[in-house]
Amino acid sequence: VVRGSRREAERALRLFVNELESGLRADKKLVFADFAKTWLEERRQSGNYSVNTIKKNEYMLRVLMPYLGDVRLLDIDSMTISSLFVKLRSDRGGKPLSGTTAHDVFVMLNHMMKDAAHHRLIASNPCEVVKAPKTDTEEKEALSRDEARRMIELLSEGEPDANRTGALLALCAGLRREEVCGLRWKDFDAEAGCVRIAQAVTEHDKAPKPPKSKASVRAIPLDPDTAKRLGEWKERQKAELQDIGVEQVDSTPVVSNGVGEHMIPSNLSRWFRGFVAQNSFGRCGLHKLRHTFGTLLVASGIDLVTVAHLMGH
């Protein structure tokens, strides 16, 4: 029953016929919030996604809920999504999303609507005809050769410690922050002068996990000074742990906390921000050190395939 004009009744009839022909099995009253709750729980229970990924999904869903939470899944079309991202980029209480964050939210929403279409909850994925927001993250500049040399000198001053060692590995071996925190002494071959990347420690996972990709499992040769410094830190760490009754073993993390366990990545980043500010390096995060490692290799004439392998790309 349609209360309105004949044209409105004809449009309603067309929509009804299309719905029948599409074979949709959705509850017409299913709203986005209810679907999102089920979708997220399925991802969580699948075991295919890290805790860090689930946390990001939760954040992005909180962004979407004020706009889509009460909207029927069947009513979300391409115009709805286009208008949504205009709002997200402009009127979020004076704090619009960056282009990069908006892009990430769109990618997740695209996955959600694709899954909804796959399960016959909607006829098709409306995101397919919407242009994704452009990312606007500034390309990270590398440290200059002189800046890198000065940083290495500062990191190598005095007695070695876990934080200085971690930053040194990021700069001189190109390790990701999570790879730095996942490195164990069994992964350091002092005789060969190299480290092997076999696991990573993320912010929210309780235990180490495999690196980012298969390409991330790799061996990285160290320059003699870095290898020597790593050996010195191993001896110092051994003595420090003995003082508190902890034995250093092959599985002991290279970059450890005060009780010989894996350091949380954000704690390493927090220390490094203080180090950078104290020594006037301007805007420089840990990932910039990895970027510097790759850039200086290319500048020294190393071929791109080799550089990509060493960086785990």
**Separation between Cα atoms, residue 217 and residue 195, nearest integer Å:** 11
Q: Contacts by 101-105 with C-beta closer than 8 Å and gap 24+?
A: 102/133, 103/132, 103/133, 103/134, 103/135, 104/56, 104/60, 105/60, 105/63, 105/64
Q: How confident is the model at residue 93, as a pLDDT?
A: 60
Residue 282 structure tokens:
């301007």
Going 274 to 279 to 285 to 290, the CA torsion angle's sign is: negative
Residue 160 has pLDDT above 90, yes or no: yes
At residue 22 the predicted structure's pLDDT band, cuts being 50, 70 and 90, is: low
Q: How confident is the model at residue 210, as a pLDDT?
A: 87
At residue 149 the predicted structure's pLDDT band, cuts being 50, 70 and 90, is: very high
**Separation between Cα atoms, residue 301 and residue 264, nearest integer Å:** 35
Cα–Cα separations (whole angstroms), residue 257 to 114, 167, 177, 193, 237: 43, 14, 15, 24, 10
> Diameter of the chain by CA atoms?
86
Mean pLDDT of 249-255: 97
pTM: 0.72
Within 8 A by CB and 6+ apart from 274, the residues are: none
Half-sphere exposure at residue 211, Cβ-oriented, CA atoms within 13 angstroms: 22
The answer to whether 77 and 129 have CB atoms below 8 angstroms apart is no
Q: How confident is the model at residue 123, as a pLDDT?
A: 85
Residue 102 structure tokens:
């908006």
**pLDDT tens by residue, 166-204:** 999 999 999 999 999 999 999 999 999 999 999 999 887
